[in-house]
Structure 1
């Protein structure tokens, strides 16, 4: 009996050590962002490509109000309600007292400045493929925007999803930095992959998810339930999206389909954001979509 108790205690201890190791925060090396000088003009393009305003500005915001990133939107999910945070340069309510290293840890590792895990409702599982220079450029641009004094609301999540430490296990399983579409790609297609899989994070809406909310990359861009609860986000793999690259480029810049329908819902915001990008980037995304494996 004593040997059995010792064995059980040892197994429990090993389990706790394994849990602690798997769920631990994994920050960037201390000087990972050192020596980088952000270019706010390029950061502005990263800002629009990343769709920052679509979540962090007030719902229905237009014009200059899109640059007021006080957060506050409620994202209702099966795990509970997430409240979008203030990412304006306000030093008290926003991220004005963060460093570039803090910002890099948020985008590339999904961590807050205090080392706690961010929830993957923030798409760091896509942003983690961004270059550090793009992160620095985005940071430089965000610091030029208006400071908004608006405190964050706490998330309202069901147990056990309200335990942040568990997000480390999610990251261990699903926060891959590997590209989904591989093989021989042209420089244009690689640029499109970088934009679509990392910065514009197309998969976050267009890819179905498993029970833990992780993207099922085996069905990459094959369509998914609308997170707003109405209808579905469409399949945009070549199995369903039969448009030419010219048609795709036109849709991404004007919101008009080849049969003169128009983008609605969240996609209208995406089109509004992508309109700020150079034509070469839009063409790169279109070329990439043609290389995505077809999924019926």
Structure 2
């Protein structure tokens, strides 16, 4: 019996060591404390980054709540197979929003998916895409966010069941699925590289247009090949050359006016995306169109 007891104790000790090691390896990451030192923000570029990243699409008011599009009081609900996520208030309000956060804390949230209290954020906040953004662009974005109205809408908790309500597990998810590698590589022109930056780092197009595995990780081998709609109605379209045969001019027009070559118009969440991208310089929309022409072609599943 004593021998069995020693074996159980030994096994328990090994398990404890493994758990501690796992928690250490997957702990929330932060930027270096001096990462933003000497960086001078540009609110003009910050407004452009704000549009490119589509912040208002998720964090502005849900239907039935009246305030301006750039007032980021949150409250929109996003159903998913894991539960319902609720967009938080990211306005400059000191208690309901992020008005008391430091610039470094906001940058940690956007680039590392880490909260000021050291918790992992859920990837419904697309830091897995934003982590490829240039640090200067994030500094500029923060300056723009601070210029927007303070909204006192209280934050709502996500509606998630077990085990998805355990944030500690997200460290392992990040380890598996989050990196800063570009999806489309090779000998790209400067315009195509700029388009890649706008699509893969800023616009987070892949968050909706790329299918996910059972753990919610993007299937990068099917980049932009279309995916089921998380709300269960219809399908997010394939926008690779395998099925998407619009010309670059067609794409630019759609991202400017919302009209397709067939004279249909953008609807649903895509209408918000078009509204944001239409605010960018025409050269940005042209770069996105050029990038979409070189994405690996896939047929829809």
Superposition TM-score, scaled by structure 2 size: 0.94
Distance 1:99 1:190 in 2: 31
Distance 2:67 2:162 in 1: 39
Whether 2:139 is the aligned partner of 1:108: answer no
Q: Which position in structure 1 is the counterpart of 2:193?
A: 190
Distance 1:15 1:64 in 2: 50
Whether 2:227 is the aligned partner of 1:224: answer yes
Superposition TM-score, scaled by structure 1 size: 0.96
- Deviations, residues 177-207 of structure 1 (Å, cap 9, x unaligned): 1111111111111100000001100000100
Q: Give the unaligned 5+ runs of structure 2.
A: none
Whether 2:263 is the aligned partner of 1:260: answer yes
Determine which of 203, 208, 211 is the counterpart of 2:214: 211
- Deviations, residues 3-25 of structure 1 (Å, cap 9, x unaligned): 63354234313321232123211
Determine which of 10, 14, 17 is the counterpart of 1:11: 14
Whether 2:203 is the aligned partner of 1:200: answer yes
Query: CA contact under 8 A between 2:47 and 2:144: conserved in structure 1?
Result: yes
Determine which of 236, 242, 252 is the counterpart of 1:233: 236
Distance 1:272 1:16 in 2: 46
SS at match of 2:85: strand
Query: CA contact under 8 A between 2:77 and 2:85: conserved in structure 1?
Result: yes
Distance 1:266 1:278 in 2: 21
RMSD: 1.6
Offset, 1:26: 1.2
Q: Which position in structure 1 is the counterpart of 2:42?
A: 39
SS at match of 1:65: coil
Determine which of 134, 148, 152 is the counterpart of 1:149: 152
Q: Give the unaligned 5+ runs of structure 1.
A: none
Deviates more, 1:87-96 or 1:250-259: 250-259
Q: Write out aligned runs for 1:1-296 (5 A).
A: 1-2=3-4, 4-5=7-8, 7-60=10-63, 65-296=68-299
Distance 2:190 2:232 in 1: 38
Runs of 4+ deviating beyond 4 Å: 60-64
Deviates more, 1:8-17 or 1:227-236: 8-17
